[in-house]
Structure 1
Amino acid sequence: MIKKWFRNIGPGPLIAAAFIGPGTVTVCTLAGVGFGFALLWAMTLSIIATIVLQEMAARLGIISQKGLAEILRSEIKHPILKGFAIVLTLSAIVIGNAAYEAGNISGGVLGLETIVGHQFIAFGDFSLNLLSLTIGCIAFILLYIGNYKVLERVLVFLVILMSLSFLFSAIITKPNLFKVFEGAFIPNFPKESLLTILGLIGTTVVPYNLFLHASLVKEKWKGESDLQYARKDTFIAIILGGLVSMCIIVSAASIDSFQINNASDLAKGLEPVFGSFAKYFLSIGLFAAGITSAITAPLAAAYVASGCLGWKTNLRSRKFRAVWIFILVLGVLFSSLNIKPITIIKFAQIANGILLPIIAGFLLWVMNKESALGVYKNSLKQNLLGFVILVISLLLSIVALNKVLQLNLF
């Protein structure tokens, strides 16, 4: 029974690994520190929205045996619209993931530094972070092997490690379970919490996961009979991922301090109250979150570039490897030299802000095409849920653009 379950684990844990990166950990930490358990319901909403969209992406990938970027290229017939969609997608996912990769690697480094301290090597006026290079090398080796099964097993292990680390951290704080459940299921809008609520949703419902999921299911499953496994895999992994995020919020809520800006600070903050082992749990979790995202972000970028540009999506092809190597090398350089590509990150945030509602809308449109999905097209219930998520993604897009462009709409 357990052996069969493990055999049918698919891309779901990789999707969970992708959305629980250092950014998610930081947002969840700030939500817990600033608002206690009050915003847990935003994670419940995020879990539902992510399950709905990722199930659609998985179903599309299995039935069509194409990635979302390939479908985008083939189904949009108008040349100007197709060109706009491809340029926007490449900008948001490929350039965006290159900008965010430094943050993924830096997050993993923060987790390690909390345990082993700073590890730098000096070259004249320059100092290189050895931990950034270490994480970059691990990610490079796993991606270069080009074997989906190996990649899947390593990431499943890291997701389990991350989940247990954050779960133990939350248990250690002995939270009031009644208040936790109340926060998880009763919407509450404390003063000045809107941006944090949208941040929690925005770090969970992410555009590149839709592309990644539709591409990865083709590596694992080949036929309609596998849909049941794909759905189960999606539900379990995303619920698990959402619970991990909730555990971070619960852990952060136990610290009565506003001097906490990230999970590394949270790890140090737990130590005097709950002992040194609390620090190690959180640090290991942050390391696992950083390294899993450092692997999945370049992988997603390579799938998107291949689909948009009409290349074969072969994990070992030169073009595919060239894309993820470019993303990974940039991430390691920016992280190890402590360079913050603010302009690129702002551009990526704008592109992602525009992309999410467009891709959600496109996905809904494609999921209703009988020519692409036959009897597996969306039901009325799936369309209604999808429409609600489309509205939420539009709101997220407006808030993201308002924040980056400083439009002062709120």
Structure 2
Amino acid sequence: MSTASYVERSVMGTKQFVNRYGLGLLFAANVFGAGSVFILSQAGSDFGFALLWVLPLALLSGLVMHEMSARLAAADRPLMVYIKDRIGGTAAKPLAIGIAFIMQFWSVANYALAGAAFVYLTPLSNLYIGTVLMAALGIALVELRLYNRIEGVIAALVLAIFGSYLVIVLGLDLPVGAVASGFVPSFVSEFGYLTMIIALLGTTVYYPNFFIQTSMSGTKDWDVVSKYRRDHTFGMLAVVALSVAVMAVAAMTIPDGRLTLTAPGEPLAAAIGPWALDVFVIAAGAASFTSATGTLFGAGFMLPQAFGHRPFFGDRPFRLVVHALICLSVVLALPLLAFTGFRPVTLAITMPAVNGVIGLPITSIALYAAVNRYFDPSRIERAVFLAVVGVLFVGSALTAQSLAGTIAGYL
């Protein structure tokens, strides 16, 4: 085989892989931002292996939610269009604006983290300028406009991020018995433990992805549930497998609970050399950037739909919404960093819990109602769907007070 033919086949194979799993990798990028790295590291540092059981629960919950979402996607029934039809345009508009506002708090945290990584890696010493620069790069990414271009960029970044952190596991001797015991559910009656549970659920069962998935029929040109199911299952499995590794490594290597920008990467540096710390920070910054930008794609679909439009990925209404929310994220991030006790890492740990308490239960209830309206789930399916929605809703309600106390402490 000639070199040119080999290269051509490799390129075609890569394109086919991205086309088949690229949307799932986008979902993975949204889920596994740098925020997830620090939430998982904080969970491992504070509670050892005791919260590993939440990750299989998050995987099952995410797959069930995506199953409902995929059915809507294959039938080209965007979730916000259903909500608007159900509650009316007058109510749908403020609801969509409210959800988008809560949603962008993920970007507040992730652009701040990306800015912190940029400052660490470059001579720039001003965190505020770094945050603004990362947001400007987010706007530039959106301006690529064509989905396949953005999908390719994000897929490459996600695969690099996953590979960089999995090296840690190869360099450590994990205690198998202790890790296995962490998958047995246990409950501790303290605010931090309960807040961490909903933070893990909120950052893994990532509700902006459902608004994206149900709106992608025209872009991906998939009209069967199996293609969406294959795609999102790949993304969810990759995220949860990596999440288990991150939490377990943190439980072994960050015992004092003092989490910093570089703490999760220090085991990597110890295992393979000091240069690996820079690799970790690059990966964390890239993860933060992709999550901050990709999350807002959900609002790019959702807000125009609430106002009676049917946006296409990258069209003018889509881009205007995403650009506006990126700018709002920076406007909110700068004073939070300047005038409160929040730092990039604490923002990353707290903001997913905010979304888990508010945005996730609203979206889960709407998904369940939409599937029951448009389709005819079996009794078993309906029971499973309702059980997952119930877990997410009850978990959010039980941890609201804990979250409020955590936020008050930083303010």
Secondary structure of 2:259's partner? coil
Partner of 2:105: 99
**TM-score (normalizing by structure 1):** 0.83
Which of 27, 30, 49 pairs up with 1:15? 27
Q: Which residue is equivalent to 2:297?
A: 299
Offset from partner CA, 1:129-177 (integer Å, 9 cap, x none): 4433442233222211210101111111111111112211232233224
Distance across 2 between alignment mates of 1:39 and 1:128:
32
CA deviation after TM superposition for structure 1 residue 356, in Å: 2.5
Q: 1:325 offset after TM fit, Å?
A: 0.9
CA distance in structure 2 between the aligned counterparts of 1:342 and 1:9, rounded to whole angstroms = 40
Aligned to 2:156: 157
Corresponding position of 1:67: 78
Distance in 2 (alpha carbons) for counterparts of 1:9 and 1:49: 20
2: CA distance between counterparts of 1:363 and 1:175? 39
User: Aligned pair in 2 of structure 1 residues 400, 322: CA closer, same or farther (>3 Å)?
Assistant: farther
The superposition leaves residues 375-402 of structure 1 with CA deviations (integer Å, 9 ceiling, x where unpaired) of xx43333222211211211223213431
- The 5 A counterparts of 1:188-227 are 188-189=186-187, 192=190, 193-224=193-224, 227=225
Is the contact between residue 22 and residue 286 of structure 1 (CA under 8 Å) also seen in structure 2? yes
Q: 1:201 is aligned with what amino acid?
A: L
State the match for 1:323 in structure 2: 321
Corresponding residue SS for 2:395: helix
**Superposition pairs of residues 52-63 of structure 1, within 5 angstroms:** 52-63=64-75
- 1:69 CA drift (Å): 0.8
Q: Does structure 1 residue 108 correspond to structure 2 residue 120?
A: no
Output the amino acid matched with 2:171.
I
Distance 1:316 1:202, change over 3 A: closer
Structure 2 CA distance for aligned equivalents of residues 87 and 137 of structure 1: 27
Deviation for aligned residue 1:97 = 3.0
The answer to whether the 8 A contact 1:130-1:336 is kept is no
Q: Please give the alpha-carbon distance, in whole angstroms, between the structure 2 residues aligned to 1:172 and 1:47.
A: 26
Confirm or deny: 8 A CA contact 2:36 2:203 kept in the other structure: yes
SS in 2 for 1:206: coil
Q: Partner residue of 1:357?
A: 361
Q: Structure 1, unaligned stretches of length 5 or more?
A: 121-126
CA distance in 1, matches of 2:404, 2:326: 28
Which stretches in structure 2 are left out of the alignment for 5+ residues?
Answer: 1-11, 407-411
What is the CA–CA distance in structure 1 between the aligned matches of 2:239 and 2:354, rounded to whole Å? 26
Identity %: 22
| Distance in 1 between residues matched to 2:351 and 2:197, nearest whole Å | 22
Alignment CA distance shift 1:128-1:5 (3 Å): closer
1:314 deviates by 2.5
Cα 1:217–1:292, aligned 2, differ >3 Å: closer, same or farther?
Answer: farther
Amino acid at match of 1:228: S
Counterpart secondary structure, 1:215: coil
Which is worse superposed, 23-32 or 133-142? Answer: 133-142
Report how far residue 272 of structure 1 moved: 5.3
Which residue of the partner structure matches residue 387 of structure 1? Answer: 386
Amino acid across the alignment from 1:12:
G
Once residues 297 and 331 of structure 1 are traced to their aligned partners in structure 2, the CA distance between those partners, rounded to angstroms, is 12
Task: Give the SS at the match of 2:256.
Answer: coil
* Residues 169 and 118 (structure 1), Cα distance of their counterparts in 2 relative to 1, 3 Å cut: farther
Equivalent pairs, count: 385
Structure 1 residues 118 and 31: alpha-carbon distance in aligned structure 2, compared to 1, 3 A threshold = farther
Deviations 1:10-40 (A, max 9, x none): 4211111112223322210111111222211
1:9 is paired with a residue whose SS is helix
CA contact (8 A) 1:96 1:348 kept: no
Kindly report the root-mean-square deviation, in angstroms, between the aligned alpha carbons of the 2 structures. 3.1
| Counterparts of 2:291 and 2:169, CA distance in 1 | 22
Question: What SS is found at the alignment partner of 2:258?
Answer: coil
Instruction: Classify 1:110/1:44 alpha carbon distance in 2 versus 1 (closer, same or farther; 3 Å).
Output: farther
Question: Contact 2:304–2:311 at 8 Å: present in 1 too?
Answer: yes
Structure 2 partner of 1:124: none
Corresponding residue of 1:87: 94
- Is the CA contact (8 Å cut-off) linking 2:300 and 2:318 kept in structure 1? yes
Is this contact kept in 1: 2:219–2:313, CA < 8 A? no
Could you tell me which residue of structure 2 aligns to residue 132 of structure 1? Answer: 131
TM-score (norm 2): 0.83
Residue 236 of structure 2 corresponds to: 238
Q: 1:363 corresponds to which letter in structure 2? A: L
Q: Do the aligned residues in 1 keep the contact of 2:147 with 2:219 (CA within 8 Å)?
A: yes
Distance 1:317 1:6 in 2: 22
Partner of 2:25, secondary structure, is: helix
